[in-house]
Amino acid sequence: MAIVKSEAIILHTAKMGETSKRLKLYSRRNGVLTLIAKGARSPKSRLGGMLETLYVVEVVFYEKESRDMQLLSQVSVLFAPKRLLKDAERTVMAMACAEMIERFETAQNPNAVIYSLLHATIRAFDRLEIDGRLILFAFQMQLLQHLGFAPEMNRCVACQTSESEEWKFHIEEAKLYCKKCAQAVHSGVFLQPAARAALQCLATVPAARWHTLQVPPAAFMDIFAFLSAFYTFHLEETRGLRALEVLKQMKALEKNTFIKRNK
Ligand SMILES: [Zn+2]
């Protein structure tokens, strides 16, 4: 039995037995892992208040190869996203990001880049001045890059132009077509130039500069539609994912605000 120390993000927690908690974590060194915190829900426990979803912690646990679940020994909080957790919508969006990591098999292995992305995403959600929807979009676009599914958004796959009044993205083929070439393409998601430009930025702007992202509200709908369709088709694990439900809800919300604004 080895003692392991690692920085980790709490993806979710569940009650276990009378007083314990079962934690699903994404750890920098070990990838996705399940830890049991014995007695964590008892009023006397020194773990109380430290084991909350989306907290960044340092855990010490006993690793036994033969067990799927390991025993938590010590924990200290490195970052508690308290502003984020006070905002219901941001919490759901951040939890959707955590859920994506938990679902993707490829993300279950240790991956320092994906770990840093999730860490930076939680910190960004805690900065209330950044639009939460942009954080979710940027996370999704950048996760695609790190998982090796990055959609090519730079030019038309048929004629190589990088200028068009409208674009069409063929989801199944993962190919972008300009307006002219799209006439011969029967299915796909339409993207206005602003949405296509925004998707390029969202895929590349590092988290430290997400506060500078400028996306016109009119492009949001196209981005929602694109990401929903792309994730549903290419990453089967996301079927039934809370994130997509959240996206749908936000889509409805955006429609409402759009209608209100134009009255
Ligand atoms: Zn073309």
How many A from CA of 155 to the centre of ligand 1? 8
Cβ atoms of residues 157 and 177 within 8 Å: yes
Considering the domain architecture, whether residues 126 and 251 belong to the same structural domain is answered as yes
Cβ atoms of residues 54 and 37 within 8 Å: no
Considering the domain architecture, whether residues 74 and 95 belong to the same structural domain is answered as no
Considering the domain architecture, whether residues 21 and 146 belong to the same structural domain is answered as no
How many A from CA of 229 to the centre of ligand 1? 22
Contacts of 245 (CB under 8 A, 6+ apart): none
How many A from CA of 170 to the centre of ligand 1? 13
Considering the domain architecture, whether residues 220 and 249 belong to the same structural domain is answered as yes
Instruction: Provide the residue range defining the domain that includes 242.
Output: 88-261
Considering the domain architecture, whether residues 124 and 250 belong to the same structural domain is answered as yes
How many A from CA of 193 to the centre of ligand 1? 14
Domain count, the chain: 2
Q: pLDDT tens digits for the chain (263 residues)?
A: 789 999 999 999 999 999 999 999 999 998 999 999 999 998 888 887 889 999 999 999 988 877 778 889 999 999 999 999 999 889 988 998 998 888 876 667 889 999 999 999 999 999 999 999 999 999 999 999 998 888 999 999 999 999 999 999 999 999 999 999 999 998 999 999 999 999 999 999 999 999 999 999 889 989 988 998 898 888 777 666 665 576 567 656 555 554 443 33
Identify the domain boundary among 43, 58, 80.
80
How many A from CA of 6 to the centre of ligand 1? 49
Considering the domain architecture, whether residues 76 and 175 belong to the same structural domain is answered as no
How many A from CA of 147 to the centre of ligand 1? 27
Residue 258's pLDDT is 42
Tell me the torsion sign for CA atoms 135, 138, 141, 145.
negative
Task: Give the count of beta carbons closer than 10 Å to the beta carbon of residue 100.
Answer: 26
Distance in angstroms between the alpha carbons of the first and the last residue of the chain: 66
Q: pTM value?
A: 0.89
Considering the domain architecture, whether residues 76 and 147 belong to the same structural domain is answered as no
Query: How far, rounded to the nearest angstrom, does the alpha carbon of residue 136 sit from its chain's CA centroid?
Result: 6
How many A from CA of 157 to the centre of ligand 1? 7
Considering the domain architecture, whether residues 108 and 235 belong to the same structural domain is answered as yes
Considering the domain architecture, whether residues 70 and 157 belong to the same structural domain is answered as no
Identify the domain boundary among 62, 80, 98.
80
Task: Give the count of beta carbons closer than 10 Å to the beta carbon of residue 251.
Answer: 15
**Rounded CA separation 20/69 (Å):** 13
How many A from CA of 149 to the centre of ligand 1? 22
Considering the domain architecture, whether residues 111 and 163 belong to the same structural domain is answered as yes
Considering the domain architecture, whether residues 145 and 198 belong to the same structural domain is answered as yes
Supply the DSSP string of 75-121, one letter for each residue: EEEEE--HHHHT-HHHHHHHHHHHHHHHH-GGGSS--HHHHHHHHHH
How many A from CA of 197 to the centre of ligand 1? 16
Considering the domain architecture, whether residues 96 and 183 belong to the same structural domain is answered as yes
Identify the domain boundary among 63, 80, 97.
80
**Rounded CA separation 31/26 (Å):** 5
CATH of the domain at 48: 2.40.50.140
